Amino acid sequence: MKRDRLKKAIVGVLGAATILGALSGCSNSQKPAETTTAKASEESKKEETSSVAAQSGSETTAAAEPVTIYAATGGSPKPFTFVDSSNQLTGHNIELIKAIFDRLPQYKLEIEVTDFPSIFAGLDSDRYQIGVNNFAKNEKRKEKYLFTDPIFANEYVAIFAKDNKKAESINTWEDLSGLKTISQSGINITTALENYNAANPQKAINIEYSDEDLVLQIQDVEAGKYDFVLMDKPMFEYYEKEFNFNVTGVSISSDVAKDLMEEPYSYLIVSKGNEKLVEDLNQALKEVIEDGTSKEINLKWFGSDYSPSYK
């Protein structure tokens, strides 16, 4: 009897020890599990904001979460990109990129307004994947960024005050040499002027850089502060109807524009490493142009169609 009681006592002690050991093991194993979960969560966040180059539209299922693409714009010049009286971001470029992403369900578009230099800084760090600001293409940008197919076919005019006799003799870019103009840094027009000056240092155009609104730039020309301002023809026509300026526009031929720029077009620029995104954007852009959506957007903002041709 005593032996039976002793056996039961030993079994009881061993059982309790086993249970305590198991509980102790569970307690100790929880911490590594939590750490692993935290690390996985952190890695997930990193993956979400990293390059989207490997993403494929064909691999995205209806149940999959779309990849968020961050686009940046400077919010000028109007009517390509601007914040309206209701504090809503709008304009030709903005409506066009939204139409493009309407055809890309594998992506979710987020657009942020920032100062112009921050667009490039954000693209460099991949904080932004797309720059939306009527961008021109040049060699320096080609080294750092990817470009979509053209989104806009530009034509140019030099704006002079109506009583400025110099406007009558403007037939080539060289006729602008020695004259004073105003332009925003980094935009396609300024790139054209800078390319001309680089190729013709002895006949350079005097450029004053400013973030001043284009309406004010035209008014400065009208008042005689500057000899001329160079801008997109559709943009000038847009402002001329609204403000009835006392100025005249002298057309710059597309052949001359092609000499100064690789192509007289505007583009979306994309951060390096996002080749798949560029491929998807180009496919959707082609659809937007060929189905007439781009034409509708152009007619709304400019009264004429400046869509690039795929023919």
pLDDT band at residue 29 under the 50/70/90 scheme: very low
User: How high is the pLDDT of residue 31?
Assistant: 36
pLDDT band at residue 94 under the 50/70/90 scheme: very high
- For residue range 236-255, what is the model confidence (pLDDT) as tens digits? 988 888 899 999 998 876 55
Please compute the mean of the pLDDT values over residues 210-228 and round it to a whole number: 94
Task: Evaluate if residue 189 carries a pLDDT over 60.
Answer: yes
Listed by start position, the domains of the chain span 63-153+266-302, 156-260
Interstrand relation of 206-209 and 180-183 (parallel, antiparallel or unpaired): parallel
The Cα–Cα gap between 141 and 151 comes to 17
Interstrand relation of 265-271 and 82-83 (parallel, antiparallel or unpaired): unpaired
For 231, the token pair is 């801008």
Please compute the mean of the pLDDT values over residues 66-76 and round it to a whole number: 97
User: How high is the pLDDT of residue 77?
Assistant: 86
Task: Evaluate if residue 257 carries a pLDDT over 70.
Answer: no
Q: Give the residue with greater pLDDT, 159 vs 56.
A: 159
Please compute the mean of the pLDDT values over residues 94-110 and round it to a whole number: 99
Q: Give the residue with greater pLDDT, 11 vs 281.
A: 281
Instruction: Give the chain's mean pLDDT.
Output: 82
Pick the range with the lowest mean pLDDT from 4-8, 67-71, 81-85, 191-195: 4-8
For 102, the token pair is 């309407």
Q: Which CATH class is domain 63-153+266-302?
A: alpha beta
Decide whether 63-153+266-302 matches 156-260 in CATH topology.
Answer: yes
CA angle, corner 216, sides to 213 and 222, nearest 5? 150
Half-sphere exposure of 132 (CA within 13 A, CB side): 32
CA-based nearest residue to 195, from 155, 248, 124, 136: 136
- For residue range 117-158, what is the model confidence (pLDDT) as tens digits? 999 999 999 999 999 999 988 888 999 999 999 999 988 889
DSSP assignment of the chain, as one string? Answer: -HHHHHHHHHHHHHHHHHHHHHHHHHHHHHHHHHHHHHHHHHHHHHHHHS--TT--GGG--TTSPPEEEEEEE---STTTSEE-TTS-EESHHHHHHHHHHTT-TTEEEEEEE--HHHHHHHHHHTS-SEEEEEE---HHHHHHEEE-S-SEE--EEEEEETT-GGGGG--SGGGGTT-EEEE-TTSHHHHHHHHHHHH-GGG--EEEE----HHHHHHHHHTTSSSBEEEEHHHHHHHHHHH--SEEEEEE-HHHHHHHSSSSEEEEEEETT-HHHHHHHHHHHHHHHHTTHHHHHHHHHHSS--PPP--
CA angle, corner 79, sides to 76 and 80, nearest 5? 65
How many CB atoms lie under 10 A from the CB of residue 62?
A: 5
CA angle, corner 229, sides to 227 and 231, nearest 5? 160
Q: What is the pTM of this model?
A: 0.67
The Cα–Cα gap between 36 and 48 comes to 18
User: How high is the pLDDT of residue 9?
Assistant: 43
Pick the range with the lowest mean pLDDT from 55-69, 74-88, 202-216, 278-292: 55-69
Q: Which CATH class is domain 156-260?
A: alpha beta
Task: Evaluate if residue 7 carries a pLDDT over 60.
Answer: no
Interstrand relation of 145-147 and 265-271 (parallel, antiparallel or unpaired): antiparallel
Beta carbons of 199 and 173 less than 8 angstroms apart:
no
